[in-house]
């Protein structure tokens, strides 16, 4: 995917934030771009602003994602790049969450990626020149934190699916590559995801609020979506699997891995003593 001009990209969650920034970057590279989003007014505005095609899509619904794939192929003949980017935030202590809280986050963040791969991978594999899939996870998919258990669970799942898929495709010598995007803090609308929560799931009982002292600490870490889009473009062109936007925040991941290895070493010593 070192030459993007004339190729076709589909970006879910493309009406704002990281998705919109990626769509703009791909369009600037000469790609034909389809953006998908559940928020219709924002989708129409973004499609008009960027000069791309907008398709209203609910990624939690397999039929809706398949309709997106069908629309992209009908418009452009094929798809070369899929960005499974749509996602929602949500939090609260696990003891306080309802099953509907879990369903909403899992349906969008995890099933949305599964639906995207299921509908689009056959299209990418059929291309003579291959293709690329970018799955948006998070640093929260590599190191869990309190208060965002469902979010972490889905993002760990996205990382695992991405690793499995990349290994399978490499083993088959397929011309489709995979990247997993693990950003830190980005200035997006994810903290107001509840605006798009389906009515039949009700409203979250308790909306998590970031304490002022915590916000003061993390505010300097926020970056703009354009910076993330540049990192994604680089990964697609160069064929990188891991995409990290906040290398300064990797220490938490390393610490978790260190605890795992310490426990494994203790188990090994116990088994051999």
Active site members: 151
Dump the DSSP string for 189-200. Answer: SGGGGGGG--GG
CA distance 110 to 67: 19
> Helix H segments across the chain?
17-28, 40-50, 62-76, 99-109, 111-126, 149-171, 212-218, 225-238, 251-272
CA distance 253 to 258: 9
Length of the chain: 273
Torsion of Cα atoms, 20 then 25 then 29 then 33, to 10°: -10
């Amino acid at each position: 995917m070192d030459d993007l001009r004339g190729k076709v990209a589909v970006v879910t969650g493309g009406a704002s934030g990281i998705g919109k920034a990626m769509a703009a970057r791909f369009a600037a590279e000469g790609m034909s771009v389809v953006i998908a989003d559940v928020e219709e007014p924002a989708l129409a505005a973004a499609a008009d602003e960027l000069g791309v095609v907008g398709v209203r899509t609910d990624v939690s619904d397999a039929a809706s994602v398949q309709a997106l794939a069908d629309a992209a192929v009908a418009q452009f003949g094929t798809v070369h790049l899929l960005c499974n980017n749509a996602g929602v935030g949500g939090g609260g202590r696990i003891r306080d969450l309802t099953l509907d809280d879990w369903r909403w986050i899992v349906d969008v963040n995890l099933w949305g990626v599964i639906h995207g791969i299921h509908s689009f991978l056959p299209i990418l594999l059929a291309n003579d020149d291959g293709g690329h899939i970018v799955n948006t996870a998070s640093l929260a998919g590599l190191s869990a934190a309190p208060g965002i258990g469902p979010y972490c669970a889905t993002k760990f799942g996205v990382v695992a699916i991405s690793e499995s898929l990349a290994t399978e495709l490499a083993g088959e010598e397929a011309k489709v590559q995979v990247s997993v995007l693990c950003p830190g803090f980005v200035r997006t609308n994810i903290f107001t995801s509840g605006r798009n929560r389906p009515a039949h799931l009700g409203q979250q009982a308790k909306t998590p609020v970031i304490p002022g002292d915590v916000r003061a600490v993390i505010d300097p870490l926020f970056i703009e979506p354009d910076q993330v889009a540049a990192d994604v473009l680089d990964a697609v062109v160069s064929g990188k699997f891991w995409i990290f936007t906040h290398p300064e925040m990797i220490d938490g991941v390393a610490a978790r891995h260190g605890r795992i290895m310490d426990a494994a070493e203790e188990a090994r010593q116990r088994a051999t003593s």
